[in-house]
Amino acid sequence: YRDASFTAMEIEALREAVRRLSSEVSKLRGEKMLEQLKSLGCLRKPLRRQERLANVNDTSDKENIPSPTQEQKPSTLPQILRDASILQKEIFSVLANPQVIQLPKLSLKQVEESPTSGAGDDGSSSRQQQPVKCVLPSATIQLNRQTVKLVKLKNDLEQLQQRALEAIKTEIPNTSIPTDFTSFPSVKMKQLLLNTKSSIIDVDQTPLQYRLIFPGGECNKQDSTKLCMTREDLHNLHSHLLTVTG
């Protein structure tokens, strides 16, 4: 009996120790999570993609004009990623569900008419069949609707690409810009780059080795681009500029 009571007391003490340890662990986890939350920065308010909803009864174009706040506020990369995901789902939905243009069919229906003047005295009435059109939009209207939907997706994709390019230039200014090393210059470009003076007859003295193409900005103010060149290349560039300007 004493061993059983002693064992029960040990079990109860172990249970109490487990409760205290679990509460202590929960307290430590809560303090650690609180410290992590305090160390985080401010969250950006998510901006949902606002689609332009055109009213069927209203023929004015005021709804299609974006508000000035939407024009002035620049887009961020997370917002562009969300918009790209939504646009991708829309494009996949259109490609997965092709719509077939339904041609309206004519159905014949018997219509009763009042007795004509040439009918007999027995009051018999004449019946004739008239074509009745089905309530379906014409093929032109259906095709126009599909065309408008595809053009809207194309315009949204082009706007999204432009917004992504502007956001990358703003948020990641030091990102690498791919240059064109594969396209060959035209004959006129070769004549401009090569020294065409009468004193230089051998064309191999100033060969065209490479060409760099940088995208130009739409704004008047453009950021400066730094190039790493050797002394010989810099001397050749200066001499070429003096030759062209002279």
pLDDT tens, position by position, 62-77:
545 555 444 557 788 8
Give the tokens for residue 169.
């230039």
Give pTM, 2 decimals. 0.34
Rg (CA), the chain: 39
CA distances from 148 to 108, 144, 155, 202 (A): 34, 6, 10, 59
Looking at the DSSP bridge assignments, the partners of residue 108 are: 131
Q: Give the Cα separation of 128 and 105 in Å (integer).
A: 19
Confidence of residue 134 (pLDDT cuts 50, 70, 90): low
CA pair distance 164, 10, nearest whole angstrom: 67
Domain spans, the chain: 1-38, 70-97+142-171, 187-218+226-245
CA 178 to CA 205: how far, in whole Å? 29
CB 127 within 8 A of CB 113: yes
What would the pLDDT profile of 74-131 be if each residue is shown by its tens digit?
788 888 888 988 988 888 888 888 777 777 665 555 444 445 545 455 555 555 555 5
